[in-house]
Amino acid sequence: MSVVTRFAPSPTGRLHMGHAFSAIRAHDVARERNGRFLLRIEDIDGTRSRPEHVATIVDDLRWLGLTWDGEVVFQSARLSNYAAALEQLREMRLLYRCYCTRAEIAEALSAPHGAVAVYPGTCRHSPARDAPHCWRLDMAAALARCGDLSWTDHGRVVANEALAQGDVVLARKDAPASYHLAVTVDDAAQGVTDVVRGRDLFEVTHVHRVVQALLGLPVPRYWHHELLVGADGERLAKRHGAPTLAALREAGVDGREVAARLRAGVV
Ligand code: GLU
């Protein structure tokens, strides 16, 4: 089976060096194996996504010398696919409406009985009412249905510990799908065989594995890479004042040289 990878940025801001690193890794894995590299714009968050960021992302990737195969896919054009997946899970009675506000959840989490960083299940048995709500996955029920799950990361088998993520949101109050649902549905729909992305998404991959099992989707191989750090060992992010790719490009820096340095591990 030929390799298919993807870069899936959210157009909520400008790309920085960490994004470039990730895009290059995913691109090279495909190119080295004669596979396909896809570009997917994760723009389901209608309030934070901006078309001008999409144009900048495209320019940034070209500047780095990266090419992708086929048309760019926009998640905002695929909402009916996420709705169908949600419906499937709802029919399995694995979703429930959650009416909690952010403030209520924060308050529940700061309660002095055990520091659980996951949603405490407040609405799990609430009667349905006419109020804004998101849809959460009843994780314990989902896992009871799936049985033991595993996936591979860098070829090593990882046992599933999705329970630790709690009852994650699969459809938001303000958006018809959450990242977890859309990314899982799309990786399968686009035939992605190898997911190459940052280590910061390792934990939530457990959730994605459960969603794949519930929806009967194929399981890609995962290759979570370490996050790019600066000379001081700190993660490179905007808060450290690192320039965006667009700023470097506009300052006349050669993007292919930047890409070559990143490939050589020199930040
Ligand atoms: N859209 C996600 C982000 O920009 C990445 C999705 C993924 O690679 O799974 O952080």
The enclosing domain of 156 has a CATH number of: 3.40.50.620
**Residue 34 alpha carbon to ligand 1 centre in Å:** 24
What does the radius of gyration of the chain's CA atoms come to, in whole angstroms? 19
Tell me, yes or no, whether 85 and 210 share the same domain: yes
Distances (CA, A) of 177 to 141, 197, 211: 20, 21, 13
Give residue 180's pLDDT: 97
Tell me, yes or no, whether 175 and 100 share the same domain: yes
Tell me, yes or no, whether 20 and 127 share the same domain: no
The model's pTM is 0.94
**Residue 132 alpha carbon to ligand 1 centre in Å:** 26
**Residue 42 alpha carbon to ligand 1 centre in Å:** 7
Q: From the CB of residue 81, how many other CB atoms can be counted at a distance below 10 Å?
A: 17
Tell me, yes or no, whether 90 and 207 share the same domain: yes
**For the chain, what is the domain count?**
2
Residues in contact with 26: Cβ distance below 8 Å, sequence separation at least 6, in sequence order: 5, 6, 7, 37, 196, 197
Tell me, yes or no, whether 207 and 115 share the same domain: yes
Give the whole-number percent of the chain exceeding pLDDT 90.
81
Residue 97 C-alpha from the chain's centroid: 22
Q: Quick one: which atom of ligand 1 is closest to the CA of 198?
A: 8
Quick check: CB of 220 below 6 Å from ligand 1?
A: no
Tell me, yes or no, whether 88 and 213 share the same domain: yes
Distance of alpha carbon 205 from alpha carbon 202, whole angstroms? 5
Query: What is the maximum alpha-carbon separation in the chain?
Result: 59
Average pLDDT, the chain: 93
Tell me, yes or no, whether 118 and 248 share the same domain: no
Q: How confident is the model at residue 54 (pLDDT cuts 50, 70, 90)?
A: very high
Q: How confident is the model at residue 234 (pLDDT cuts 50, 70, 90)?
A: confident
Residue 70: pLDDT over 90: yes
The best mutation among 4, 6, 10, 75 to test binding of ligand 1, ranked by most ligand atoms within 8 Å of the C-beta, falls on: 10
**Residue 262 alpha carbon to ligand 1 centre in Å:** 19
pLDDT tens digits for 173-207? 988 899 999 999 999 999 999 999 999 999 999 99
Distances (CA, A) of 77 to 57, 177, 216: 18, 12, 23
Give residue 238's pLDDT: 53
Q: What is the mean pLDDT of residues 20-25?
A: 97
Q: What is the mean pLDDT of residues 216-229?
A: 95
Q: How confident is the model at residue 236 (pLDDT cuts 50, 70, 90)?
A: low
When mean pLDDT is compared across 49-58, 76-85, 240-249, the lowest value belongs to 240-249
Tell me, yes or no, whether 111 and 185 share the same domain: yes
Domain that holds residue 172: 79-190+197-220
Quick check: CB of 44 below 6 Å from ligand 1?
A: no
Q: What is the mean pLDDT of residues 211-215?
A: 98
Q: Quick one: which atom of ligand 1 is closest to the CA of 200?
A: 10
Quick check: CB of 190 below 6 Å from ligand 1?
A: no
Residue 113: pLDDT over 60: no
Q: What is the mean pLDDT of residues 39-67?
A: 96
Tell me, yes or no, whether 113 and 215 share the same domain: yes
**Residue 180 alpha carbon to ligand 1 centre in Å:** 10
Q: How confident is the model at residue 244 (pLDDT cuts 50, 70, 90)?
A: very high
Is 238 in the active site?
yes
The pair of three-digit structure tokens given for residue 20, joined into one six-digit string: 């470039």
- The catalytic residue among 50, 154, 199, 238 is 238
Tell me, yes or no, whether 140 and 68 share the same domain: no
